[in-house]
């Protein structure tokens, strides 16, 4: 059959995500590009792989059958690439890296500079993505490795096919508009009961982690604004709209004027690098992980 790995990966991702749009976002394509890849697979196989049900598309029996085999084919391909790299023992080629906004701003630039100096034959291509999507992106082969976040209060489910390596641990503080808690340097979550909060959705790992910590302290946060973007959250706190949790790396994204109070309760996040377990012996992957460890705060 005349097909490509990209086409097979799009089909596999469709079984996981359910919509063409979600597949496009996960793999960094346009929805039209994903549709073209599926159409090319249908031409190669001579069979319909999708069927339209209302406004949605679903895999046909043939599509599900091919997707199951495609997943194994992609894994075999990845293992072959890794075996060839190990045999050459060279730090070269292209690595695709997924990362979230804070990592893109604070960790990636020094890492890329060091890679160019220490490993000039290694090219790193990065892609910004939702931090909650990086694990799936690595598992599906959309990227070779990714920088992600893990929260002790709401840990990311572990996949035995993935390896998670801690890079940096950050403790949260509370960002409070100027004048709200004057003269304070420390605060307990129990004292935030009557304050308006700015937090991501409760469906996100970050949003769930903060809500879990508040509830453990006996407080239900009054979330008045659900915001995912860190810079926007900092701007809202500065404008006196509400309070939010912050870390040192988050504060570096935007110069802001507000009070940062130490939380009495321990609330943390861990910056991690994620890659497939079988990729751990690739010289290029090992080299980039070493660089990320070296440049992490």
Question: Exposure string (b/e) for 146-155, b if CB count within 10 Å is 16 or more?
Answer: bbbbbbebbe
The domain of 15 spans: 5-85
Of 7-21, 94-108, 130-144, 211-225, highest mean pLDDT: 211-225
Q: Can you give the pLDDT at residue 85?
A: 66
> How far is 220 from 297, CA to CA, in rounded Å?
32
Radius of gyration of the chain (CA): 22
Q: Can you give the pLDDT at residue 90?
A: 76
User: Which one, of 100, 104, 127, 108, lies nearest residue 204 by Cα?
Assistant: 100
Handedness of CA 16, 21, 25, 29 (dihedral sign): positive
Q: Can you give the pLDDT at residue 156?
A: 86
- Residue 86: pLDDT over 70: no
The stretch 134-159 carries a mean pLDDT of 89
User: Which one, of 249, 205, 290, lies nearest residue 107 by Cα?
Assistant: 249
Q: Are residues 288 and 237 in the same domain?
A: no
- Residue 30: pLDDT over 90: no
Q: Are residues 153 and 280 in the same domain?
A: yes
Structure tokens at 12: 């596999």
Q: If pLDDT is split at 50, 70 and 90, which confidence band does 163 have?
A: very high
40-71 tens-digit pLDDT: 888 888 888 888 777 778 889 898 898 888 88
C-alpha dist (Å) from residue 149 to 9, 166, 235, 278:
25, 9, 22, 21
Q: If pLDDT is split at 50, 70 and 90, which confidence band does 159 have?
A: confident
CATH number, position 37: 1.10.10.10
Q: Are residues 76 and 196 in the same domain?
A: no
Q: Are residues 70 and 206 in the same domain?
A: no
Which residue's entry shows tokens 């992490």?
A: 296
110-125 tens-digit pLDDT: 999 999 999 999 999 9
Which of 24, 50, 85 delimits the end of a domain? 85
Half-sphere exposure of 290 (CA within 13 A, CB side): 13
Q: Are residues 46 and 109 in the same domain?
A: no
Q: Can you give the pLDDT at residue 280?
A: 80
Q: Are residues 18 and 76 in the same domain?
A: yes
Average pLDDT across the chain, whole number = 90
The stretch 166-189 carries a mean pLDDT of 96
Query: What are the backbone angles phi and psi of residue 262, rounded to the nearest 5°?
Result: -70, 135
Q: If pLDDT is split at 50, 70 and 90, which confidence band does 87 have?
A: low
> How far is 198 from 236, CA to CA, in rounded Å?
8
CATH number, position 93: 3.40.190.10
Q: What percent of the chain is modeled with pLDDT above 70? A: 98
- Residue 82: pLDDT over 80: no
Q: Are residues 163 and 286 in the same domain?
A: yes
- Rounded to 5°, the CA angle 185-262-222 comes to 105
Q: Can you give the pLDDT at residue 16?
A: 80
> How far is 251 from 231, CA to CA, in rounded Å?
8
Which of 56, 85, 114 delimits the end of a domain? 85
The stretch 78-102 carries a mean pLDDT of 80
Q: Are residues 152 and 203 in the same domain?
A: no
Q: Are residues 242 and 198 in the same domain?
A: yes
Which of 85, 114, 146 delimits the end of a domain? 85
Q: Are residues 261 and 276 in the same domain?
A: no
- Residue 222: pLDDT over 80: yes
C-alpha dist (Å) from residue 98 to 17, 170, 230:
18, 20, 18
CATH number, position 239: 3.40.190.290
Q: Are residues 184 and 252 in the same domain?
A: yes
Into how many domains does the chain fold?
Answer: 3
Q: Are residues 106 and 251 in the same domain?
A: no
Question: Which 8-state DSSP code applies to residue 104?
Answer: H
> How far is 111 from 97, CA to CA, in rounded Å?
12
> How far is 37 from 213, CA to CA, in rounded Å?
44
Give the residue, 223 or 132, on which the prediction is more confident: 223
């Amino acid at each position: 059959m005349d097909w490509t790995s990209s086409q097979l990966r799009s089909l596999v991702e469709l079984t996981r995500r359910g919509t063409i749009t979600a597949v496009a976002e996960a793999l960094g394509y346009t929805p039209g590009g994903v549709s073209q890849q599926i159409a090319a697979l249908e031409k190669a196989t001579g069979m319909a792989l999708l069927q339209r049900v209302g406004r949605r598309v679903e895999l046909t029996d043939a599509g599900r059958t091919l997707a199951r085999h495609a997943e194994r084919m992609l894994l075999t391909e990845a293992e072959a690439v890794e075996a060839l790299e190990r045999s050459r023992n060279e730090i070269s080629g292209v690595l695709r890296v997924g990362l979230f906004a804070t990592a893109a701003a604070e960790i990636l630039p020094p890492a890329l500079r060091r890679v160019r100096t220490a490993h000039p034959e290694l090219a790193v291509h990065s892609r910004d993505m939702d931090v909650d999507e990086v694990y799936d992106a690595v598992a599906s082969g959309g990227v070779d490795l990714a920088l992600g976040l893990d929260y002790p209060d709401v840990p990311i489910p572990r996949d035995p096919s993935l390896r998670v390596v801690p890079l940096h641990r950050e403790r949260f503080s509370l960002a409070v508009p100027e004048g709200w808690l004057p003269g304070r340097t420390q605060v307990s979550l129990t004292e935030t009961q009557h304050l308006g909060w700015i937090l991501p959705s409760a469906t996100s790992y970050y949003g769930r982690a903060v809500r879990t910590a508040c509830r453990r302290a006996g407080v239900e946060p009054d979330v008045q604004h659900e915001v995912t973007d860190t810079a926007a959250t900092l701007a809202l706190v500065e404008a006196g709209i509400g309070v939010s949790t912050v870390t040192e790396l988050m504060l570096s994204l935007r110069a802001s004027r507000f009070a940062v109070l130490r939380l009495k309760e321990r609330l943390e996040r861990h910056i991690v690098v994620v890659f497939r377990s079988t990729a751990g012996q690739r010289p290029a992957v090992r080299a980039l992980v070493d660089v990320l460890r070296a440049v992490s705060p």
